[in-house]
């Protein structure tokens, strides 16, 4: 569930708690979490390193360490990252702990255990990160970038938005919301959009992701920020999850279909 706005909110809330900290130890309670090396090697490699800054690429949270090392978290469906005092009891389904020099620790919880943790040198990131498409909230993203990425592609626009190699950070919720805002039907072929529609879509993507960040993410169930707090963008969703509820534009009920193997919400009347 954590998509770009949720991961960005986690990054923002964790930054003041983690920057400048030195990792003094750690614990891996679910070995398969660590993708690139054994849990022991992982802990050995990070111990004593200092956290320089927190970054984000698509849905990955990146913790940059001294010595050009990077820890990348992918939260998948139910991953949570929270900093708490070591003396506080940790919640159930806590599978990774990183202790710091000030008596706090970073805790990774994951009810479904689908999350992934990569440790790598800045020179050799995992392919899943290197091949990510453009960041929609950076200056170099524009309607022309979007157009170029979709040109010659013969697939539905929603599938394109969900493809992290075409554009990074958008998941099921924000794809449906962006398409609703752009008044585009999710099954429209990407290469059938007019210039106007491309512009609408590019604007809508930026708008909906920024709104998601402003409301500190969407909490349908599990999502929490770095302080353990829920987001509130779920109260502002216009399409996603609103089956048989009125469309905010026209009042007709929102339709839910199964598309590309996932639930897809849209307004039949507004989205063409």
Should residue 128 be labelled a site residue for DNA when binding is judged by CB under 7 A?
Answer: yes
- The site map against DNA for 223-242 (x = CB under 7 A) is --------------------
As to burial, measured by CB atoms within 10 angstroms (0-12 exposed, 13-18 middle, 19+ buried), residue 101 is exposed
The answer to whether the beta carbons of residues 182 and 197 sit under 8 Å apart is yes
Should residue 172 be labelled a site residue for DNA when binding is judged by CB under 7 A?
Answer: yes
Q: Using the rule CB under 7 A, give the single segment among 10-18, 63-71, 157-165, 202-210 that binds DNA.
A: 157-165
CA distance 12 to 159: 29
Catalytic, 3? Answer: yes
Should residue 130 be labelled a site residue for DNA when binding is judged by CB under 7 A?
Answer: no
CA distance 188 to 180: 12
Residue 48 neighbours by CB under 8 Å, 6+ apart: 22, 23, 24
Should residue 171 be labelled a site residue for DNA when binding is judged by CB under 7 A?
Answer: yes
Q: Using the rule CB under 7 A, give the single segment among 46-54, 101-109, 112-120, 192-200 that binds DNA.
A: 112-120
Q: Using the rule CB under 7 A, give the single segment among 40-48, 81-89, 148-156, 225-233 that binds DNA.
A: 148-156
Our CB check for DNA shows the closer of 72 and 270 to be 72
Should residue 67 be labelled a site residue for DNA when binding is judged by CB under 7 A?
Answer: no
Catalytic, 262? Answer: yes
In terms of Cα–Cα distance, which of 193, 210, 191, 189 is closest to 201?
193
Q: Which of 11, 59, 107, 238 does the annotation list as catalytic?
A: 59
CA distance 5 to 225: 10
Catalytic, 2? Answer: yes
């Amino acid at each position: 569930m954590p998509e770009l706005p949720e991961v960005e909110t986690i990054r923002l809330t964790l930054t003041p708690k983690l920057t400048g900290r030195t990792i003094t130890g750690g614990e891996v309670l679910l070995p398969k979490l660590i993708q690139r090396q054994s849990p022991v090697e992982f802990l050995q490699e990070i111990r004593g390193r200092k956290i320089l800054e927190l970054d984000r690429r698509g849905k990955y949270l990146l913790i940059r360490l001294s010595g050009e090392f990077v820890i990348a978290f992918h939260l998948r469906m139910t991953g949570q990252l929270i900093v708490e005092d070591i003396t506080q009891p940790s919640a159930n389904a806590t599978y990774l702990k990183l202790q710091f020099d000030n008596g706090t620790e970073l805790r990774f919880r994951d009810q479904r255990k689908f999350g992934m943790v990569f440790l790598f040198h800045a020179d050799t990131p995992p392919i899943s990160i290197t091949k990510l498409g453009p960041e929609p909230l950076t200056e170099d993203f524009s309607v022309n970038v979007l157009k170029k990425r979709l040109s010659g592609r013969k697939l539905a626009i929603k599938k394109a938005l969900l493809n992290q190699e075409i554009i990074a950070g958008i998941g099921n919720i924000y794809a449906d919301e962006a398409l609703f805002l752009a008044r585009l039907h999710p099954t429209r072929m990407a290469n059938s959009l007019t210039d106007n529609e491309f512009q609408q879509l590019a604007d809508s993507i930026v708008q909906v992701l920024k709104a998601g960040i402003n409301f500190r993410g969407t909490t349908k169930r599990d999502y929490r920020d770095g302080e353990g707090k829920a987001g509130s963008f779920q109260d502002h969703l216009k399409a996603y999850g609103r089956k048989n509820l009125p469309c905010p534009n026209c009042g007709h009920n929102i339709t839910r279909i199964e598309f590309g193997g996932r639930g897809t919400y849209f307004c039949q009347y507004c989205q063409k």
